[in-house]
Structure 1
Amino acid sequence: MAPIIRLAIDSKGINRVERLCSIPAYVGERNTSFRYIVQHASLVTGIEAQVKDGLLRLKLPDERPDLPIWNTPSPPDLSSCITFFFFSSGHLFGTHFHYEQDSSAVTTYECFDKRRQKSIIWVYLPMPKNDRLLVLGVRHGLRSKTNILVRTRQIGDIIIGRHTTGEFRDICLAKSAPVTIVYNEPPEGYIVNYFGAYCRSPDRLELSTPFPLERCSPHPLGDESYFSWAPLDRVSSTLTFNDPKTDIAKV
């Protein structure tokens, strides 16, 4: 019997179950109507299939197996995945994950109207090969909207979003790998109003080590400032680019 199981999931539940001889190679195909689980049969033992009224669902055992869900029929190489977040006025308006050298976040950027495009800030989340997401959280501020908090094994702490001013509260969404990011894809022009995560963490999700805060007072560069930083160990030189239209520098 073929060792690989692939499930296709739509808005009503499991739409299709397939047996494959091997995990198919990723060819860049993505789907907006289906989500997929591709896993070796030996890793999904103890799962019960339940059918009622023409609908199929899975009943998982108490010790739930890892079932990563993809928007592509074949999983991509995670080391080649690149993540972008799109912010405007401190709000998260979209995310983009691409898996190929030829693909670009421009396709997501072009979904925003012309007025929004002028104020959109692109934020790139670096994930080196062999690194792992350990903690995912959010920082809610009364005046500074929302930051996304990321902690990885190799990079450490990353804060994505606008500079925080005033009072804020940090919320831990997940703190044990593997972490699945869950968010809604809003209609054009609307913010992402749900951003969460799933993992097999304990019931009490608390940050064992707080995320840093450089300063909570207004910054000389203004409240619209977005900061990034990286260690300079073994860095010999950098290239800096200046966008004449926005007067924003890029490194």
Structure 2
Amino acid sequence: MWHLGLWLNPIPGARYYVSECNTPRFSIEEDTAYPETKELRSRLKAVNAMPQEIVTKILAKAETPLISRFSFVLAWHPESLDRLEPTAEAIRPHDLYGWSREDFRAIHGSRMQFEQNVPPKDPRYFIIGLDTLGIRVFQLLEDRPTVADSKFPDCLWFIIEKLSRLDDYFIRTNGDFLRLDPIRTSIDTLMLWDTPAPPDQFTIVNDGLSKPMRMRCIVTEQCTGISVFCNGRKIYGIYAHKENRSLAADTYKRLCHYRKDPLIWIYFPLAPNEGIRGVWIRQRYGPRKMITDIALMIRTTLGRCHVFGPCLDPQADDSVEICLSKGQVSHLIHEDADDGDPILCFGQTLLDDMQLDSPEILQHPPSFHNKWDLFHSCASLEDVKQVCLFFDERGSDLNNLDNCCLGMLLTYSSGHREALGQCRVGLSATATIEHPTSLHFAEATSIDGKTGVIVCVASDNVGINLSHKRQWLSTKMTGIITWWFNSEKTIPCIEVEDI
């Protein structure tokens, strides 16, 4: 879903065609009287860099082909809008003409230097809601908006803009602000905000060549779980589970082998009445202020906390936590990176500057025999009515006897669930055991040389025969099970502690 401010400037003779490589492109007819200038070539380059679906849907609303580009422009000459009705169907995009801001330059100290262009007197403001189906809503505004719009409660209004040459320049809004963290803090900053409360239009620079960054918005309501792809240094995917539906498995299948190998798939189940009420980003600053060691952290309305990243030694931990949310979280927003590429920007509605306390797990992180940089998960074994084992889809161990287990999903009598290790929901082969009575673990070596574990589950209805060739760790369904893992050691150790 795209919701963007729209700037349109038709050029006579422009046409839209599909090239031999089936890539839609814009071009200018040879016999057109419009001069081919450097500015025009730059616009063509910018337009052709935009997502195809956006361009196609805009063209569907235009009677004649046009050259268009996206930008943050809300103030237009009043005479350009007087004849237009504030309804989406009555708007013809090629009838909209705006003043250009290409020559604006930003300087520090919240000042702007205007060159050829002069802002219009008494400008009119409007909002365009645009998604993959075209222009959905067009609303004329009486004044510069300062509060959320109640006329369209079902519409999420976002504007995506890339700010360049704004070192040490930070923009706030007077409404709901969506904070994003870029990979480089001193070069380009990506801001995502709610259009009913945009920043002052004259403090924004648009170089005319930056295409909108594709963003993904995850709705957490009615979410049964969240899957995160990470490797301890970056986050590569965040996916919501709605009942049995999720894009996580399909995305994972598309990855090539060298992309899959270092990834950790962490699944965090949510109860039907459980929501997210706190979101943090933990990160470190490396050389040249590059952000690294990114981890996502959440706290739920039931008091559960989880870190989608490894545990760090508090004695040597120089990371910082950034609070992205306060109160009930309805949407998680992040850059929609290409498959296998890391997510560089994260966002979430932040009502004010007040931050939640960091999760307890960050204040007192667990450790495995003083070894750090391992992923951690734990769960109670009390009152478990079902155990689901997730097996390594790459095959069995070296002895070719049993499949290595990547993770376990425990379901309790209350209906709540807890995940241990890597539960690749929708991808891995599984085995489900009802009413378990005991768990048995043995270390194994997988076919790719990694240390894994074999898991056997006994129940009232199913007996098991444990191989004498292995050393088994057995436990009844009491106490707390702790699971440590990383990409090299799928399950380095399992600890069971009495409650």
Q: TM-score, normalised by structure 2?
A: 0.35
- Asked if 1:182 is matched to 2:182, the reply is no
- Asked if 1:147 is matched to 2:295, the reply is yes
Q: TM-score, normalised by structure 1?
A: 0.63
Match for 1:164 among 298, 301, 312?
A: 312
Equivalent residue letter for 1:152: T
Match for 2:354 among 193, 200, 205?
A: 205
* Structural mapping, 1:1-251, within 5 Å: 9=2, 52-53=96-97, 56-57=127-128, 62-63=147-148, 65=150, 67=154, 69=156, 78-79=221-222, 81-101=224-244, 105-141=248-284, 145-165=293-313, 166-167=316-317, 168-199=319-350, 201-202=351-352, 204-208=353-357, 210-213=359-362, 214-215=364-365, 219-220=368-369, 223-231=372-380, 234-235=383-384, 238=387, 243=392, 244=396, 249-251=406-408
State the distance in 1 between where 2:309 and 2:358 align: 20
Deviation at 1:237? 6.6
Find the residue that maps to 1:146 and give its secondary structure. Answer: strand
Q: CA distance change for structure 1 residues 232 and 79 in 2, over 3 Å: closer, same or farther?
A: farther
Q: CA distance change for structure 1 residues 88 and 135 in 2, over 3 Å: closer, same or farther?
A: same
Find the residue that maps to 2:222 and give its secondary structure. Answer: helix
Aligned length: 209
Find the residue that maps to 1:85 and give its secondary structure. Answer: strand
Equivalent residue letter for 1:187: D
The structure whose RCO (Cα within 8 Å, separation 6+) is larger is 1
Deviation at 1:111? 2.9
Q: CA distance change for structure 1 residues 137 and 92 in 2, over 3 Å: closer, same or farther?
A: same
Equivalent residue letter for 2:312: T
Runs (4 or more) in structure 1 with deviation over 6 Å come to none
Query: Which digits, 9 at most, give the CA deviation of each residue in 1:161-183, with x for residues without a partner?
Result: 12223322111101122442111
Deviation at 1:232? 5.0
Find the residue that maps to 1:229 and give its secondary structure. Answer: strand
Structure 1 gaps, min length 5: 1-7, 14-31, 35-48
Does the 8 A contact of 1:141 with 1:164 survive in 2? no
Q: CA distance change for structure 1 residues 64 and 156 in 2, over 3 Å: closer, same or farther?
A: farther
Find the residue that maps to 1:228 and give its secondary structure. Answer: strand
State the distance in 2 between where 1:220 and 1:183 align: 35
State the distance in 1 between where 2:250 and 2:236 align: 14
